[in-house]
Amino acid sequence: MMFDLSKKTKICIEKVKGVPGYVCRKIWKVGRDDPRRVIHAFKVGFSLTLVSLLYLLEPLFKGVGKNAIWAVMTVVVVLEFTAGATICKGLNRGFGTLLAASLAFLFELIAREYGQVFRAFLIGASVFLIGTATTFLRFFPRIKKNYDYGVLIFLLTFNLITVSSYRADDILKLAHGRISTIAIGCGVCILMSLFIFPNWSGEDLHYSTVSKIEGLAKAIEACVDKYFKDDETDIEIDETQEDPIYKNYKAVLDSKSTDETLAHHSSWEPRHSLHCYKFPGKQYVKVGAVLRHFGYSIVALHGSLQTEIRTPRSVRMLFKDPCIRLASEVTKTLNVLAASIRTRRHCSPEILTEHLQSALQDLNHALKSQPRLFLGPDGPNNTSKMLALVAATGRQRSESPLARKSTESPSFSKGTPTGAEKRVLRPTLSKLAITSLEFSEALPFAAFAALLVELVARLDIVIEEVEELGRVACFKEYKHENDVILDVPRPSREINITTPAGAE
């Protein structure tokens, strides 16, 4: 028992000893993931010290007095990670305070005429009314989205001044002190966020859009590679190792709220380009929505890798080339789009559709001419089926029935053929060696192909929206170079740009 206890203590001590290391690793990881976080932390510390000087330094304190504490509070609350968020909060706080002070002053003017008791009643009533109305106002979607913080501050300040006015002599001085110190706090915050290592929501949105498109491209590539590379033995491993593909597109699926927040904050940021009047946050949100829709198709494509019924490898191999070509064209187009956004330069409209069109036609052609889909009139015994592949392109090879997967569910073996069909067709089949393929086996491949084709259809919408983005965001003219540049998604001069990071 004694031994047991000491052992437990030892384990406990070991664990506690491990904590500092763990914490250090964690801190290092959070900082390394996005070094701007460290800079932002120092910015907040510095700003706080700066406004604290209002209180600590004698001459400054004489100017603002005890209200200096409001400046400190403002900095704590308003200084956010990106410039847009800070400006949004700062202006909301500023105008909310101003509006509330005006209204409170008006109430005070009315209440001043009456006696102490009636005044108390009036203050209570106004607090109730304004509190109820303001809270209800916050449920309006548009106000909630844009001015929620401002409304909150309005309510806060109004109550603060109205209630205080009951005991304070000079309400004007109270309001003035609060407003001026909050203005100082907001000013410090906005200056810090705009001029010292600024982080722009617009930039975050821009680069997160680029990385989302690249992620989708990678996901498609990985999906198609896996579909055609798979040996039959891989099936079990597949189901556990879905991460590499999922990882690439998952950021797109749940990007709605992040996108909208970034776009909203970016709408408060001053333009940071001489070319364009305003940052087109809304268009980025639209691109994000289209990408999300594109992503849903990839989810379905990914899902078709994991279906129970699998198309035989030999059949898949028959369509491998056109499918891989189509997928690589889609991937290439996505990378071109990503590069176009990244470099803020229009991309050539012809090249986007030219190769894609021909790849699509290739696949159509392959689907049309190569495989002869024939559901032979089989009896209840499946093993007598014949799978002979004739590739019209010249590589005529036929595979033995053994090559087919034998993991079919029993429900598949219920055909209703007539004897007559059997007798007439069998010789024809053997003579012509037509590709025989069960529809239920072709199903997963058909779904895969159809989803690929649909990806192209949706890619068209993505291209449209990205081109619209190019117009709205005043991208640079397309520079006509030889085609080589379009195969290189990331021009080397862009490498030194900071990687896009998680919002706020």
Contact positions with a copy of itself (CB under 8 A) in 4-43 = 26-27, 30-31, 34, 37-38, 40-42
Cβ-based nearer residue to a copy of itself, 348 or 370 = 370
DSSP letter for 304, please.
Answer: T
CB of 442 to a copy of itself, least distance (A): 7
- In contact, 390 and 437? CB cutoff 8 Å: no
* Location of structure tokens 């070991």: 14
Report d(CA 411, CA 308) in Å as an integer. 14
Applying CB under 8 A, which of residues 60, 99, 103, 163 lies at the interface with a copy of itself?
A: 163
Spell out the SS3 assignment of 324-353. Answer: HHHHHHHHHHHHHHHHHHHCCECCCHHHHH
Question: Whose CA is closest to 314, among 405, 200, 406, 244?
Answer: 405
Beta bridge partners of 476: 345
106 binds a copy of itself (CB under 8 A): no
CB of 17 to a copy of itself, least distance (A): 21
CB of 341 to a copy of itself, least distance (A): 23
SS3 helix, strand, coil % of the chain, rounded to 5? 75, 0, 25
Applying CB under 8 A, which of residues 6, 132, 273, 407 lies at the interface with a copy of itself?
A: 132
Instruction: Give the phi and the psi of residue 417 in degrees, each rounded to 5.
Output: -85, 155
461 binds a copy of itself (CB under 8 A): no
Burial 96-122 (b: 16+ CB within 10 A, else e): bbbbbbebbeebbeebeeeeeeebeeb
CB of 382 to a copy of itself, least distance (A): 10
* Location of structure tokens 């400006």: 87
Draw the binding track, 260-299, toward a copy of itself (x: CB under 8 A; -: no contact).
--------------------------------xx--xx-x
Interface region with a copy of itself, contact rule CB under 8 A, candidates 44-52, 102-110, 463-471, 474-482: 44-52
375 binds a copy of itself (CB under 8 A): yes
118 binds a copy of itself (CB under 8 A): no
Beta bridge partners of 345: 476
Size of interface with a copy of itself, in residues (CB under 8 A): 108
For residue 225, count other CB atoms closer than 10 A to its CB: 14
292-351 residues in contact with a copy of itself (CB under 8 A) are 292-293, 296-297, 299-300, 303-304, 307-309
For residue 396, count other CB atoms closer than 10 A to its CB: 11
Cβ-based nearer residue to a copy of itself, 52 or 328 = 52
Instruction: Give the phi and the psi of residue 436 in degrees, each rounded to 5.
Output: -105, 130
Draw the binding track, 433-452, toward a copy of itself (x: CB under 8 A; -: no contact).
-----xxx-xxx-xx-xxx-
Draw the binding track, 190-209, toward a copy of itself (x: CB under 8 A; -: no contact).
--------------------
Question: Whose CA is closest to 413, among 448, 430, 438?
Answer: 438
Helix (H) / strand (E) containing 152: helix 141-165
CB of 331 to a copy of itself, least distance (A): 20
406-435 residues in contact with a copy of itself (CB under 8 A) are 409, 411-416, 421, 424-425, 428, 431-432
216-255 residues in contact with a copy of itself (CB under 8 A) are 253-254
CB of 361 to a copy of itself, least distance (A): 4
CB of 342 to a copy of itself, least distance (A): 26
Helices (H), 230-277: 235-240, 243-253, 256-266
Applying CB under 8 A, which of residues 91, 324, 373, 485 lies at the interface with a copy of itself?
A: 373
Cβ-based nearer residue to a copy of itself, 279 or 448 = 448
CB of 475 to a copy of itself, least distance (A): 29
CB of 432 to a copy of itself, least distance (A): 6
* Location of structure tokens 């604290």: 52
482 binds a copy of itself (CB under 8 A): no
Cβ-based nearer residue to a copy of itself, 77 or 98 = 77
Cβ-based nearer residue to a copy of itself, 148 or 472 = 148
Instruction: Give the phi and the psi of residue 345 in degrees, each rounded to 5.
Output: -140, 135
- The residue type of 471 is R
Report d(CA 237, CA 424) in Å as an integer. 44
Considering only the C-alpha atoms of the chain, give the largest distance between any 2 of them, rounded to a whole number of Å.
111
135 binds a copy of itself (CB under 8 A): yes
Interface region with a copy of itself, contact rule CB under 8 A, candidates 135-143, 176-184, 225-233, 272-280: 135-143
Burial 277-288 (b: 16+ CB within 10 A, else e): ebbbbebbbbbb
To the nearest 10°, the Cα dihedral for 61, 64, 68, 74?
A: -140
Draw the binding track, 61-90, toward a copy of itself (x: CB under 8 A; -: no contact).
x----x-xx--xx--xx-------------
Cβ-based nearer residue to a copy of itself, 233 or 428 = 428
